[in-house]
Amino acid sequence: MQLKTLLEDVDYQLVQGNVEQEISALIYDSRKAAPGAVFVCICGAVRDGHDFAAEVTQNGCPVLIVQRDVDVAEDVTVIRVEDTRLALAQTSAAFFGHPARELTTIGITGTKGKTTATYMVRSILEHSGYKTGLIGTIETIIGEEKIPSANTTPESYVVQESFRKMVNAGCKCVVMEVSSQGLMLHRVSGFVFDYGIFTNLEPDHIGPNEHKDLADYIHCKSLLFKQCRQGIFNADDSHLQEILEGHTCEVETYGFSEDADLRASNVHLMDKGGTLGVAYHMNGKLDMDVEIDIPGKFSVYNSMTAIAICRHFGVKEETILDSLSKIRVKGRVEIVPVSSKFTLMIDYAHNAMSLESLLSTLKEYHPKRLVCLFGCGGNRSRDRRFQMGEVSSRLADLTIVTSDNPRNEEPQAILDDIVTGVQKADGKYVTIIDRAEAIRYAIENAKEGDVIVLAGKGHEDYQEIKGKKHHMDERELVADVVRDGNFIK
């Protein structure tokens, strides 16, 4: 590819060299330096790519894209831009031949619900004959290939590379989770989304290495709606007007509000003996009864998100209902069939806010007992341990305190912190440091009518201890207990 073609959408200054040359690769990792490669100097949280400018040119890179001065040989082409992250997104799109133009692109942002909504959308579209790729917190799906994710929204180069692979695999659509960090760091710049969706917003990801305050978090979320053609919004969210500020897209809404374009009503909870669900009526731009085997009011919102999107694809009502009735999302209120006498589920809730939302939802089903098993990660905020302990003790009838990614801390010290929080409320509790033993205890001591939540791990299939990840999948641990059969059937 010609360098000038790579730079066609970039606002740049040619500091030295020339753009009339062939390039063979686009990189942002100095370890991949090679002859013919363009190196984009990214300012990362830990390292600054500008510090490796001389090294990569010595290793053959003839072109640098920078946002500050670098000291390199005169025969190196230096392209200066205002923001190298934006330039990486723009050049990545060009490098892979603008694959987003060959796909219908769907981006979902919000504090909660992104993961479940993306899987719902993909399920409905696939059942309707639209081969659909997915990029999200759990994995990237390209045709039959599933790639575990490191970030909710990958680096822009990886996004564009994935889009190209999806096109090559015959995909017509892609649905992806769009995080506030992804928007802030230009990971989804370089193209326009066909659909942008806002699920909800609560204070989250605010801190030294994320967003400086709530206003910044909201602003970053809102950027999606200056970069999409059709916006679909949760009409009930208290931050909606802030999210809409400066939008350039068409606006459509869903929710319980009378003003919403798609409205939910007549919600009722379902307990089918081992499975919890929810049903409701939708009217407005569609009129239909909806039933989902995923519990809680948030499942109404998640399914309405998916329906609001898929409506634009002309999907048949029966296809929507059939797809939603079968949807299961790994680690997101994932019900694991064990017994018709009690319900067991796995969920990713790993902070006080998400745990409170989950447990409050489950209490609405009036279980005989609500049992919550969880731990907290090592080398993370101790406040989270106190807060989660108190929330569980206040809302659950029994809290089983156990281990969860202790990393470089002693597991017992983490449990002790959690118990400090647990003791601030009145719930009963036990501590079992080994997670496999804790899960066995929860199942073998289950009573008829119980709802048991294994919280914190969700889709994760490992336990991180002393710098190493050891395989541990809660589904396998549950299966081990089920094989032994020492519980009420």
Burial class (CB in 10 A: 0-12, 13-18, 19+), 433: middle
Can you tell me the distance from the alpha carbon of 242 to that of 217, in angstroms, rounded to the nearest whole number?
A: 11
SS3 192: coil
Rounded Cα distance between 239 and 111, Å, is 12
DSSP 8-class letter at 32: G
- Long-range residue pairs from 95-102, CB within 8 A, at least 24 positions apart, any chain: 95/1, 95/6, 95/26, 95/157, 95/160, 96/160, 96/161, 96/163, 96/164, 97/164, 98/191, 99/160, 99/163, 99/164, 99/166, 99/167, 100/160, 100/163, 100/190, 100/191, 100/192, 101/191, 102/167
Give 51's pLDDT tier (boundaries 50, 70, 90).
Answer: very high
C-alpha torsion sign, points 206, 210, 216, 217 = negative
pLDDT surpassing 70 at residue 206? no
Predicted pLDDT of residue 396:
98
Which pLDDT belongs to residue 210? 63
Tell me how far apart the alpha carbons of residues 238 and 61 are, in angstroms, rounded to a whole number. 50
Instruction: Compute the C-alpha angle 134/135/137, nearest 5°.
Output: 125
From 455, 253, 281, select the one nearest 361 (Cα to Cα). Answer: 455
Q: Look at residues 18, 17, 14, 20 and name the one whose alpha carbon lies nearest to residue 2.
A: 20
Question: Confidence class of residue 214 from pLDDT cuts 50, 70 and 90?
Answer: confident
pLDDT digits 0-9 by tens, 247-302: 999 999 999 999 999 999 999 999 988 899 999 999 999 999 999 999 998 999 99
Q: Judge whether residue 207 has pLDDT over 60.
A: no
pTM of structure:
0.92
Output the CA torsion 166→168→173→179 (10° steps): 30
The Cα 125–Cα 307 span in angstroms is: 10
Q: Give me the numbers of helices (H) and strands (E) for the chain, helices first please.
A: 15, 24
Backbone angles phi, psi at 444, to 5 degrees: -70, -20
Nearest 10 degrees: CA dihedral of 444, 449, 455, 459? 90
Res 10: pLDDT: 98
Instruction: Quickly count: other Cβ atoms within 10 Å of residue 129's Cβ.
Output: 10
Report whether 48 contacts 151 (CB < 8 A). Answer: no
The pLDDT > 70 percentage for the chain reads: 98
Convert the pLDDT of each residue in 402-461 to its tens digit: 999 999 999 999 999 999 999 999 999 999 999 999 999 999 999 999 999 999 999 999
